[in-house]
Structure 1
Amino acid sequence: MTTLNLTAELERLIADITARHEAFSHIDPSRLMVCINSSRSSSCGLFAKIHPLRFPGGERVRTVKRGRFTYRCTMPDVSHKEVELLYVIYFAMPRFFDRPLKEKLITVFHELYHVSPQFDGDIRRFTGRNYAHGGSTKKYNRLMEGFVEEYLQTPYARELTGFLDHGMADMRENHRAIVGRRMAMPKIRVERL
């Protein structure tokens, strides 16, 4: 029995997606950290979450006015292997891993598509009220489903997605240990001016 490193497998998959799929070619996987976090159940809630490390326009510091007070908000510096990171993606364990393969892949593509086309640490912003997904989350996910279908047609894609074929119970049965990187969500520093 072997040890399964979930973050290493997800990082390999993400590196391949960004190398092969034009819609994600602007992403530098070395500046994106993959982590896992614990979830209570596999039936409801978030499966994954992207945490941008910059404000709109790639700014690290932003001044905002709330009522009669002004605040300076500063994004934290987060580095890994001496490389400054721009994004952290968290995958919920076991919730994400207990989904069917296609839903897991749609989730990976969904989170990656949030990365700004400028790759400046901010998220992709659509026009309108729902700037994260555009006018319809269902339409957004249908687009991701199309990206997944395209990706699965590329050579070796099934080799890289094989670890996602199983749920957590099967993974635990087939591996001596399951490991993954955990990191507390980076906190924005807020100072009243």
Structure 2
Amino acid sequence: MPSQSKGFDFTGAIRLVCVDISRRLPEMSHIDMARVAVGLCQTRSDAMHGVFATLTPLRFAGGRAEKKVRGRLHRIQPLVDPSGQEYLYLLNFYLPRFLNLPLEEKLSTIVHELWHIGPMFDGDLRRHEGRCYAHGSSQRKYDALMDRMTRKWLASDPPAHVYEFLECQFQELHAEHGGIRGQRWPAPKMVPG
């Protein structure tokens, strides 16, 4: 990917989509995108199998800043914005794979990852009952809910200019703008507290 000075700012553009979704969908109104780091990761190939996006909580269960591991307190190494405020979540998109999805699948993927943000917005995930706490007992029902929320967002008539870049595949966007750039974040690590 080209240097930071030229090309399409993917993370800036995708952040605006996330802001609009969180403002238009009451189910997402607890999300403050100013506290969510948005990044891009480059995949080794453009194969369509694999991860499209991930949401990483930057706190432990219940929003706790520290957790005891083998008798010692640990915390997650913080990610901070330019003003020094800590982010509570890291939302990464994997390119080119994510951009090569059809438009509605891209939007549903965004909604899917935002839905993982816990309703308390405390750095923890939304936890479902049972052993499959991330998606609940049925992945099919979870995906259907994400598709319904995506259609609800589209029905709210968001401004086309906010998400029209998502109509492009990776190569189209790259060619049109002379490259694709965006923020990259180090993988969060647990460190002694």
TM-score higher than 0.5 here? yes
**What does residue 3 of structure 2 align with?**
none
**What does residue 48 of structure 1 align with?**
53
**What does residue 39 of structure 2 align with?**
35
Partners of 2:162 and 2:58 lie apart in 1 by 28
**What does residue 76 of structure 1 align with?**
77
> Does the Cα contact within 8 Å between 2:79 and 2:87 map onto a contact in 1?
yes
The one-letter code of the counterpart of 1:12 is L
Aligned residues between the structures: 186
Residue 141 of structure 2 is aligned to residue 139 of structure 1:
yes
Partners of 2:89 and 2:148 lie apart in 1 by 24
The one-letter code of the counterpart of 1:33 is A
TM-score between the two structures when normalised by the length of structure 2: 0.91
1:190 shift after superposition: 4.7
5+ long unaligned stretches in structure 1: none
Give the direction of change, closer, same or farther, for the CA distance of 1:160–1:22 in structure 2 (3 Å limit): same
Aligned match for 2:97, one of 80, 95, 98:
95
Map 1:175-186 → 2, pairs under 5 A: 175-186=177-188
TM-score between the two structures when normalised by the length of structure 1: 0.91
**What does residue 112 of structure 1 align with?**
114
Secondary structure of 2:142 counterpart: helix
1:103-127 Cα offsets, whole Å, 9 max, x none, are 1111100000000000000000001
Partners of 1:149 and 1:122 lie apart in 2 by 26
1:20-42 Cα offsets, whole Å, 9 max, x none, are 11010000010001100011233
Matched-pair identity in % = 35
1:128 shift after superposition: 0.3
Instruction: Name the Cα RMSD after superposition.
Output: 1.5
Secondary structure of 1:172 counterpart: helix
Please state which structure has a larger fraction of its residues in strand: 1
5+ long unaligned stretches in structure 2: 1-5
> Does the Cα contact within 8 Å between 2:54 and 2:113 map onto a contact in 1?
yes
The one-letter code of the counterpart of 2:166 is L
> Does the Cα contact within 8 Å between 1:152 and 1:158 map onto a contact in 2?
no
Partners of 2:74 and 2:146 lie apart in 1 by 32
Residue 163 of structure 2 is aligned to residue 158 of structure 1:
no
> Does the Cα contact within 8 Å between 1:48 and 1:107 map onto a contact in 2?
yes
- 4+ long deviations beyond 2 Å: 70-73, 155-159
**Range 104-113 or range 147-156, more displaced:** 147-156
Aligned match for 1:22, one of 26, 35, 38:
26
Partners of 1:111 and 1:43 lie apart in 2 by 18
Partners of 2:192 and 2:143 lie apart in 1 by 34
> Does the Cα contact within 8 Å between 2:7 and 2:174 map onto a contact in 1?
no
